[in-house]
C-alpha cells in the first residue's frame, strides 16, 4: 500500500460493513462455546445448573451484554445488506446505518439493566 491513509474507510457505510463482518466472526467463534455450555445438560441438570451459577458473575454478564450487542448489530447489518440487494436503491443509508448501531447499543443496554 502506497497511500499513507485510506480516507474511504471513514465512511459510515464502510464502518457498517466492517462491524457486520467482525460481529459475525465473533459470533462464529462464540457459537461452539454456547452449544457446548447448553450441551452440559446431557450430564444432568446439576451440571447445567452449576454452569448457570458460574455465569452469574459480573464479568460473564458483561460479556453477555456484549454478545447481545453483537447479535443485534449483526442482524441489523444483515438487514442492510438484504435491503440493498433486494429492493430499489434508497439514499439516506448513512443515517439508517447510524440508527442501526444506536438501536443495537440500546438493546445491549436494556439487557445490561435487566441482568445487573
Residues contributing to the site for other proteins (CB under 8 A): 1-9, 11, 13-14, 17, 21, 24-25, 27-28, 31-32, 34-36, 38-42, 44-46, 48-49, 51-52, 64, 68, 71-72, 75, 78-82, 84-86, 89, 93, 107, 110-111, 114-115
Which of 36/62 has CB closer to other proteins? Answer: 36
**How many CA within 13 A on the CB side of residue 68?**
19
Grid cell 457505510 — which residue?
13
CA-CA-CA-CA torsion sign (110, 31, 63, 18): negative
Q: How many angstroms separate the CA atoms of 77 and 24, rounded? A: 10
Find the shortest distance in angstroms from Cβ 39 to other proteins: 4
Amino acid at each position: 500500500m502506497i497511500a499513507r491513509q485510506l480516507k474511504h474507510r471513514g465512511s459510515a457505510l464502510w464502518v457498517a460493513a466492517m462491524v457486520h463482518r467482525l460481529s459475525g466472526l465473533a459470533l462464529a467463534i462464540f457459537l461452539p462455546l454456547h452449544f457446548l455450555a447448553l450441551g452440559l445438560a446431557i450430564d444432568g441438570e446439576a451440571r447445567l445448573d452449576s454452569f448457570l451459577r458460574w455465569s452469574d458473575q459480573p464479568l460473564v454478564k458483561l460479556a453477555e451484554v456484549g454478545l447481545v450487542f453483537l447479535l443485534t448489530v449483526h442482524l441489523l447489518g444483515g438487514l442492510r445488506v438484504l435491503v440493498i440487494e433486494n429492493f430499489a436503491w434508497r439514499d439516506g443509508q448513512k443515517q439508517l446505518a447510524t440508527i442501526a448501531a444506536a438501536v443495537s447499543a440500546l438493546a445491549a443496554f436494556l439487557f445490561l439493566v435487566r441482568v445487573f
